[in-house]
Structure 1
Amino acid sequence: MAKTKSPAQRTCIGCREVKPKKHLIRIVRTPERDIIVDPTGKANGRGAYVCPSRACLTAATKSGRLAKALDTEIAKETLERIIDDVQVLLGDKGTK
C-alpha cells in the first residue's frame, strides 16, 4: 500500500497559524544578505513565511518577528520595499 504524502506545513510569522506551504508567501535573506520576496518558494537562503494578507505582513514587520526569523536587522527602506513587493504579488488576492 502506498502512503499519501501530506503537504508541507509552515507557520506564518504574522498570525502564527500553521498552513500548507503553498498557501504562504516566502520572504528570503539571500547568502548575499539581501532580503527578497520569493514567489517560487525555491530561492537559496534563510526563509520566513507569511500569510497572503496585509494584516499578517504588518504584524510580522511591526513585531520584529520578520527580522528575527531572517536572523538579520532590516532597514526601514527594505521593509517598505518588501511590503510593496508583497502587495504587488498579492494584487487583488490580498485580504485586509
Structure 2
Amino acid sequence: MKPRKIPMRKDIVTGEMVPKKELVRIVRTPEGNVELDPTNRANGRGAYISLSVEVAEMAKKKRTFDRVFETKLDDNFYDELIAYVDHQAARKELFGDAK
C-alpha cells in the first residue's frame, strides 16, 4: 500500500516547511479583518505559523502579519495569537496528536 502524503505548508516566520497539522492558520477575510482560523477553512488569504510560543513572539517582535497582510494590527492580535499557540502546544503535550 502506498504511504499517505503529508500536506506541508511554509511557516512565514521561520521559512521552514512543516506538516500542516503542526501549524495554525491566520486569515485575512474578504472584509479585511485578520483573525485566527482554527478550522483551516475560513474564506480569505491565509498564512501559517508554527505552534511554538517562541515563533509567535518572534512574529510579534517583527510585526510579521502587518507585512504579510499589508495592514496595521494592534498588539492585542499578537497577544491573542501567543495565548492560542501556548494553549494548543500545552494541549498537544497533554493529549498527543489528537486535536
Distance 1:26 1:33 in 2: 16
1:31 alignment counterpart? 30
**What percentage of residue pairs aligned between the two structures are identical?**
34
1:59 to partner: Cα distance: 0.9
Which residues of structure 1 form unaligned runs of 5+? none
* Paired residue type of 1:65: T
1:14 aligns with 2:13: yes
Deviations 1:29-81 (A, max 9, x none): 11112221111111111111111011111111211222222232212233333
What value does the CA root-mean-square deviation take over the aligned residues?
2.3
SS in 2 for 1:48: strand
* TM-score normalised over the length of structure 1: 0.75
* Paired residue type of 2:8: Q
1:87 to partner: Cα distance: 3.5
Does the 8 A contact of 2:26 with 2:48 survive in 1?
yes
**Matched ranges for 1:13-92 at <5 A:** 13-92=12-91
Does the 8 A contact of 1:14 with 1:58 survive in 2?
no
Distance 1:5 1:92 in 2: 25
1:92 to partner: Cα distance: 4.1
2:97 alignment counterpart? none
Bigger proportion of residues as helix: 2
SS in 1 for 2:56: helix
Name the structure, 1 or 2, with higher relative contact order (CA <8 Å, separation 6+): 1
Which residues of structure 2 form unaligned runs of 5+? 94-99
SS in 2 for 1:27: strand
